[in-house]
Amino acid sequence: MHWFSLVFLAALALATAARLWLSRRHIRHIAANRDAVPAEFAGRISLAAHQKAADYNVAKARAGVIETLMAAALTVAFTFGGGLQFLSELCQRAFQAGGYAHGIALIVSVVVISSAVDLPFSLVRTFVIEARFGFNRMSLRLFVLDMVKGAALGALLGIPLVFVVLWLMARTGDFWWLTVWLVWVAFSLLFATIYPTFIAPLFNKFSPLEDSGLRSRIEALLAKCGFRSRGLFVMDGSKRSSHGNAYFTGLGAAKRIVLFDTLVSRLAPPELEAVLAHELGHFSRHHVWKRMAAGSAVSLALLWVLGWLMAKEWFYTALGVSSPGTAMALILFSMLAPSFTFLLQPLASLYSRLHEFEADAYAAQYADAGELVRALVKLYEDNAATLTPDPLHSAFYDSHPPAPARIARLQSLHA
């Protein structure tokens, strides 16, 4: 066995084992804390709601375990199992080997197979788990419609992008990774710019916030924070799920704050104002830009590594492939990288949690921190978020600070 096969297998096994171990810890921690509402939330969240959240989060984590195992099995089947080599030969029957059409066909077939394997999990998440806890509002028809739209959009944007990347890899010599990176950054900027106005509306309706009682308070807040009020929208999130949320998205003139209709209907005006102030914090502290810059730095490093790897014959043979090529290199790398970038996950999560704390501090400055606490407690309860995540699981995966830490920080700002 080639040493690189061993490196890859070891990394895949370690990353998979770490994921399973974190899930097990998480499930046990939640179960161990199921019988009592944490002291910080006593009197604010009922025991019944706390137990529902525990059962919901355990159910999600258990489904995640099977998904993790399946993903590892699929990676092994594609590489050592000869799946990629087989697909490459199959595509050669229709397209000239090594040509752009062959490369695109190979990438598309891998994406289609991976999506097909993910489909049952997605169905279970929506129609079994979300439905069992009363969150799902999606019909099978809407599910299929979303899938068709997503696939069409993926093909429309993805296939030209793949073509450009393959062309640059073939034509721009030793520094192809730099040219591909520049195209990738440009594509990400373009995508972030068109997402709010052209892509998100394909899936949801966005309308201006109508509530007149709220309007003047909110406009005063937006003016104070320097955000144009035309950028505030309510989204019909209720057509898919009863989970409530709010987010800040987009770049330049396209940037907007989106409130789910489920959130607007649940929160009192001062609570909504505090949530809005939090989202304005993300805007004011340039979090979208910072996240994109960090992501671009990581992709530059990854592309450089790929540039080095794809010139080695063993990169292909050690991973079960006997016909090298640029498209094959991209696919192999996309299967290899997650086992290694898994180590970056805690850093990415930490970075995101720091941004959440920053946005909370901003909200405490421009609105009432006590109202934000009330809003968050309602959201935790409505969304059945766990109040007792395993600390290590949380450090690895959570983009938002665990509930007790976030509330404690806000209360210290409020005092």
Catalytic residues: 279, 360
CB 356, min distance to Zn ion, A: 5
Q: Is 96 exposed, middle or buried (0-12, 13-18, 19+ CB in 10 A)?
A: exposed
Cβ(364)–Cβ(410) under 8 Å? yes
Conformational region of residue 250, where left means phi above 0, alpha means psi within -120 to 50, and beta covers everything else: left
d(CA 198, CA 196): 6
CB 365, min distance to Zn ion, A: 15
CB 274, min distance to Zn ion, A: 12
Interface with Zn ion (CB under 5 A), residue total 2
DSSP symbol at 153: H
Maximum distance among all alpha carbons in the chain?
71
Judged by beta carbon, residue 12 or residue 359, the one nearer Zn ion is 359
CB 359, min distance to Zn ion, A: 5
d(CA 371, CA 377): 10
CB 378, min distance to Zn ion, A: 16
d(CA 38, CA 50): 9
Show the binding pattern over residues 265-284: x = contacts Zn ion (CB under 5 A), - = does not.
Answer: --------------------
d(CA 183, CA 21): 38
Q: Which amino acid is at 260?
A: F
Binding positions for Zn ion, 314-373, rule CB under 5 A: 356, 359
Question: Tokens for 291?
Answer: 């996240």
Judged by beta carbon, residue 218 or residue 335, the one nearer Zn ion is 218
Judged by beta carbon, residue 7 or residue 385, the one nearer Zn ion is 385
CB atoms within 10 A of CB 3: 9
Judged by beta carbon, residue 30 or residue 359, the one nearer Zn ion is 359
Q: Residue 94, CB half-sphere, CA atoms under 13 Å: how many?
A: 12
Torsions phi, psi for 356 (to 5 deg):
-65, -40
d(CA 387, CA 398): 13
CB atoms within 10 A of CB 271: 23
CB 354, min distance to Zn ion, A: 11
Judged by beta carbon, residue 231 or residue 307, the one nearer Zn ion is 231
Q: Is 260 exposed, middle or buried (0-12, 13-18, 19+ CB in 10 A)?
A: buried
Judged by beta carbon, residue 359 or residue 379, the one nearer Zn ion is 359
CB 275, min distance to Zn ion, A: 9
H or E element at residue 359: helix 345-366
- By the criterion CB under 5 A, which residues form the site for Zn ion? 356, 359
